[in-house]
Chains A and B, each alone.
Chain A
Amino acid sequence: MQAVILAAGEGKRVRPLTRGRPKAMIPVANHPIIEYVIDALVKNGIREIIVVVGYRKEQVTRFLNQLDVSVDVIVQDKQLGTANALLCAESKIHGDFLLLPGDNYIDPHSIARIRDIPDSMLVKEHPNPSNFGVVMLHEGRVTQIIEKPEHAPSFMVSTGIYCLKKEVFSYIQGNDLTDAISSMIENGIHLQGIPADDWQDAIFSWDLLKMNRRLLCHIPAAREGTASRQTIIQGTVSIGKGTTIGPNTVITGPVVIGNDCTIGPNSCIMPNTSIGSRVTLEPFISIGNSVVMDDTTIGSHSRIIDTVIGERCALADHTSTSTGVGLMEIEGRVTRSEFGAVLGDTVVSGPFTTFKNSIIGNSVTIEGRSCIVSRSIQDNSMVI
Chain B
Amino acid sequence: MCGIVGYVGRRDAAPLIVEGLKKLEYRGYDSFGIATTGNSIALVKHQGRISENSGAAARLTGKTGIGHTRWATHGIPNDVNAHPHTDCTGTIALVHNGIIENYAELKRQLLSRGHTFRSETDTEVIVHLIEEEYPGRKDLLAAVQAVVPRLEGSYAILVISSSEDRIIAARNASPLVIGIGDGEIFAASDMTPIIEYTERAMFLEDGDIASLNRTGVEVFNREERVARPVELIDWSVEDVKKGGFAHYMLKEIYEQPQAFYNTIRAVNSDTIPWSSHRPPSITIVACGTSYHAGLIFKYLLEDSCGIPARLEFASEFKYYPPPVEGLVIGISQSGETADTLSALKQAKSHNCRTLAITNVLGSTVSRIADSTMFMRAGPEISVAATKSFVAQLAVLIQLINSLCDRKFDDILLHAHQAIEEVLLLDLTEAVAACKHARSIFYVGRGPFYAVSLEGALKMKEISYIHAEGYAAGELKHGPFALLSPETPVIALCVPGETYGVMISNIKEIKARGAPVIAIGCDGDAELPDIADIFIAIPRTPVFVQILTSLVVLQLLAYHTAVALGRDIDKPRNLAKSVTVE
> How far apart are B142's CB and chain A's nearest CB, in angstroms?
26
Q: Is the CB of B254 within 8 A of A58?
A: yes
Contact status A62-B254, CB under 8 Å: yes
Chain A residues with CB under 8 Å of chain B are: 1, 19-20, 45, 47-48, 51, 53, 56, 58-59, 61-62, 64-65, 68-73, 75, 92, 94, 260, 278, 294-295, 311-312, 346
B238 contacts chain A at the CB level, 8 A cutoff: no
Q: Is the CB of B175 within 8 A of A278?
A: no
0/1 per residue, B388-428, Cβ < 8 Å to A?
Answer: 00000000000000000000000001100100110110000
Q: Quote the shortest CB–CB distance from B204 to chain A (angstroms).
A: 10
Assess whether B581 is interfacial by the CB under 8 Å rule. no
Cα distance A51–B239 when bound, in Å? 13
A278 interface neighbour in B173, B251, B413, Cβ under 8 Å? B413
Residues from chain B with a CB closer than 8 A to the CB of A53 are 244
- B414 and A61 form a contact (CB under 8 A): no
State A20–B190 Cα separation when bound (angstroms). 30
In the bound complex, how far is the Cα of B149 from the Cα of A102, in angstroms?
A: 35
**Is residue B482 contacting chain A, with contact meaning CB distance below 8 A?**
no
Q: In the assembled complex, which residues on chain B have CB atoms less than 8 Å from the CB atom of A72?
A: 235, 239, 244
Which 10 A-B pairs have CB atoms at the shortest separation, nearest pair first?
A73-B244, A65-B243, A61-B244, A47-B203, A312-B417, A62-B254, A58-B254, A295-B417, A48-B231, A20-B424
Knowing that A19-B424, A47-B203, A75-B244 are A-B contacts, what are 19 other residue pairs whose CB atoms are under 8 Å apart, sorted by A's residue number? Answer: A1-B229, A20-B421, A45-B229, A47-B201, A47-B231, A48-B232, A56-B424, A59-B254, A61-B245, A65-B245, A65-B251, A69-B175, A69-B203, A70-B190, A70-B235, A72-B239, A73-B244, A94-B232, A295-B414
Whether the Cβ atoms of B243 and A45 lie closer than 8 Å is no
Residues of B within 8 A of A58 (CB): 245, 250, 254, 423
CB of B228 within 8 Å of the partner chain: yes
Least CB distance from A281 to B in Å reads 15
Is A45 a contact partner of B245 (Cβ separation < 8 A)? no
Residues of A within 8 A of B413 (CB): 260, 278
Residues of A within 8 A of B88 (CB): none
Instruction: Indicate whether A48 sits within 8 Å of B250 (C-beta atoms), given known contacts A278-B413, A295-B414.
Output: no
Nearest residue, chain B, Cβ from A47: B203
Judge whether B205 is part of the interface by a CB distance below 8 angstroms.
Answer: yes
Of B234, B255, B421, the residue contacting A346 (CB under 8 A) is B421
Q: Are A70 and B175 in contact (CB under 8 A)?
A: yes
B357 beta carbon closer than 8 Å to chain A: no
B240 at the interface (CB under 8 A from A): yes
**Within the complex, what minimum Cβ distance (angstroms) separates B521 from chain A?**
13
Task: Give Cα A383–Cα B240 distance, bound, in whole angstroms.
Answer: 47
Q: Which of B245, B265, B413 has the most CB of A within 10 A?
A: B245
| Residues of chain B with a CB closer than 8 A to A64's CB | 243-244
Please encode chain B, from 221 to 242, with 1 for each CB lying within 8 Å of some chain A CB and 0 for all others: 0000000110111110001100
Tell me whether A61 and B234 are in contact in the complex, defined as CB-CB below 8 angstroms, given that A68-B173, A295-B414, A346-B421 are known contacts.
no
- By a CB distance below 8 angstroms, the chain B residues around A68 are 173-175
Is B13 part of the binding interface, using a Cβ–Cβ cutoff of 8 Å?
A: no
| A5 smallest CB distance to B (angstroms) | 13
CA distance A19 to B251 in the complex (A): 20
A234 to B173, CA, bound (A): 29
Closest to A58 in B: B254
Pair A73/B243 contact, Cβ less than 8 Å: yes
13 inter-chain pairs at a CB distance below 8 angstroms, sorted by A residue, are A1-B229, A20-B421, A20-B424, A45-B228, A48-B233, A51-B244, A58-B423, A62-B254, A65-B245, A68-B174, A68-B175, A70-B243, A346-B421
Closest Cβ neighbor of A311 among chain B residues: B417
- B7-36 CB contact bits vs A (8 Å, 1 = yes)? 000000000000000000000000000000
Contact status of A70 and B191, CB under 8 A, knowing A61-B245, A65-B244, A94-B234: yes
**Chain A residue nearest to B245 in the complex (CB):** A61
Main secondary structure of the interface of B (DSSP, over half): loop
CB neighbours of B423 from chain A (8 A): 58-59
B255 x A62 contact (CB < 8 A): yes
Cα of A73 to Cα of B175 in the assembled complex, Å? 18
B243 A61 Cβ-Cβ under 8 A: yes
What is the distance, in angstroms, from B565's C-beta to the closest C-beta of chain A? Answer: 17
Closest to B204 in A: A47
CB contacts (< 8 Å) of A56 on chain B: these are 424
Q: Which residues of chain B come closer than 8 Å to A70, judged between CB atoms?
A: 175, 190-191, 235, 240, 243
Residues of B within 8 A of A45 (CB): 203, 205, 228-229
- Kindly list chain A residues whose C-beta atoms are within 8 Å of the C-beta of B174: 68
Closest approach, in angstroms, between the C-beta of B306 and any C-beta of chain A? 32
Q: Which chain A positions have C-beta within 8 A of B203?
A: 45, 47, 69
Provide the residues of chain B in CB contact with A1, threshold 8 Å: 229, 231
Residues of A within 8 A of B191 (CB): 70
The docked-state distance in angstroms from the alpha carbon of A73 to that of B235 is 10
Minimum Cβ distance to chain A for residue B568 (Å):
15
Bound-complex Cα distance A61 to B253 (A): 13
Q: Which residue of B lies closest to A56 (CB)?
A: B424
Determine the distance from Cα of A59 to Cα of B420 in the docked complex, in whole angstroms: 9
**Residues of the B chain whose Cβ atoms lie less than 8 Å from the Cβ of A65:** 243-245, 251
Residue of A nearest to B201 (CB): A47
A58 to B191, CA, bound (A): 22
- Return chain B residues, CB-CB under 8 Å to A61: 243-245, 251, 254
Q: Which residue of A lies closest to B235 (CB)?
A: A72
Bound: A346/B523 CA distance, A: 15
Bound-state Cα–Cα, A260 to B417, Å: 14
Alpha-carbon gap, A311 to B235, bound state (A): 35
Within the assembled complex, what's the spacing in Å between the Cα atoms of A22 and B243? 18
Chain B neighbourhood of A92, CB < 8 A: 234
Complex: how many Å from CA A279 to CA B359? 29
**B residues within 8 A CB of A62?**
251, 254-255
Q: How far is the CB of A79 from chain B (nearest CB, A)?
A: 16
CB distance from B146 to the nearest CB of A (A): 26
Shortest distance from the beta carbon of B248 to any chain A beta carbon, whole Å: 12
Chain B minimum-CB-distance residue to A92: B234
Q: Which residue of A lies closest to B424 (CB)?
A: A20
Report Cα–Cα, A288/B314, bound state, in Å.
57
Q: Chain A residues near B245 (CB, 8 Å)?
A: 58, 61, 65
Contact with A along B518-541 (1 / 0, CB 8 A): 000000000000000000001000
Residues of chain A contacted by B265 (CB below 8 angstroms): 260
Q: Looking across the interface, which residue of chain B has its beta carbon closest to that of A48?
A: B231
Who on chain A is nearest to B261 by CB? A278
A residues near B234, Cβ cutoff 8 Å: 92, 94
A71 to B413, CA, bound (A): 31
Bound CA–CA A69/B204 (angstroms) = 11
CB proximity to A under 8 Å, residues B477-535: none
Q: How far is the CB of A263 from chain B (nearest CB, A)?
A: 15
Which B residues are CB-close (under 8 A) to A47? 201, 203, 231
Chain A nearest CB, measured from B466 CB (Å): 29
Q: Which B243-270 residues have C-beta < 8 A from chain A?
A: 243-245, 250-251, 254-255, 265
* Nearest chain A residue, comparing its CB with the CB of B229: A45
Q: Whole-angstrom distance between the alpha carbons of A51 and B417 in the complex?
A: 26
- Least distance between B265 CB and chain A CB atoms (Å): 8
**In this complex, what residue of B is CB-closest to A51?**
B244
